[in-house]
Homo-oligomer: A and B are copies of this chain.
Amino acid sequence: MISFNNDYSTIAAKEIIERLTQLNDQVFGLGYGTDDICEQARQKIKDKLGNQSVDIHFLVGGTQANAVMIAGMLRPYESIIACDTGHINVHEAGAIETHGHRIETVNNINGKIDLKACQKLLDEHFEEHETVIRAIYISNSTEIGTIYSLNELKELRRFCDENKLYLYMDGARLGAALTSDENDIAWTDLCNYCDCFYIGATKNGGMIGEAMVIVNDDLKPYYRNLMKQNGALLAKGFILGIIYDTLFTNDLFENLARHGNKMAKLLKDGLVKKGYKLLINSPTNQQFVIMPNELIKQLEKEFVFATWSKGEKESCIRLVAAYQTTEEDVQSFLSCV
């Protein structure tokens, strides 16, 4: 069956598997991410970001990356703002809370943070009976495929500076965001406006892996200790080094993401042309389409995808394209609706 279920349903981009095969007779003297290939991968990422002073750490998965970073960012009595649809707020099984931290929520606007609502929250948190808000969590692209503009990112930075908050970007789908047709954020902007963020490989052709980039000096010390304490320091760290080194060679990371976006756009344009409504205008690899329940039932016989929200007659389905999605996959789907 053709799958539009998610962007993590294949092992890895072939370049990565080839590299693993090629290096499989090598003995890596040092474990835990201290080896040469990890260092080389970090250097390539730093060059891409145009920033040589960031710290970069390779973690295994997104929930782990979020939990470890936020645990390191906050004192026990501090909280982080996320919008109601934020991944940490709805799909991480209490991973932030298990580290003792409260997520303060604001309603989302198109999957994004509403700064007016943040200001209201801050106004209400003024004494010791409430948590001390210390950070804002955003994801780019968001849970519903939308992306932040450079202006929005600047505005977030200004707000965070004014209120002494850290700005943390969940980049599980950062590739999709940065290679979107509508994106105006450059790699080199990221370090200017975020205190920390991660560059997700799992959902962009990497086998495993999320590269945490720490920009703010206050957040750098002892991050490896935090990782180890949380079971996030991979013994064979060089595997993550190989994955990222490959992804950041010859623009593979962008090329994989761009392809996913392109296939999603094909799908979106085709569906809109056929008269289907979208939940939201997503410029990335996730599309949310409203369809009659009858049709959804039929499509499920030939395609794998998720139902995002159920209605009595119509429902919203999520269609995700990725690096391995082909034009044929898309055409097959379009021909069935």
Contacts and interface: CB of A to CB of B under 8 A. Distances in A.
Interface of A: 1-3, 5-6, 8-12, 14, 17, 20-21, 23-32, 60-68, 71-72, 75-77, 79, 90-95, 97-103, 128-132, 202-203, 207-208, 222, 224-236, 238-239, 242, 304, 324
A229 B95 CA distance: 4
A161 to B, nearest CB: 19
> How many copies of this protein are present in the complex?
4
Contacts of A61: 231, 233-235
B8 A23 contact: no
B31 A8 contact: yes
B228 A95 contact: yes
A132 B225 contact: yes
Given A10-B27, A21-B17, A27-B324, A94 B101 contact: yes
A235 B93 contact: no
A71 B26 CA distance: 36
Counting chain B CB atoms within 10 Å of each CB, the highest count among A24, A75, A76, A79 belongs to A76
A102 B97 CA distance: 6
B97 A236 contact: no
B224 A128 contact: yes
Contact of A76 (B23, B98, B232): B98
B224 A208 contact: no
Contacts of A226: 76-77
A90 B128 CA distance: 11
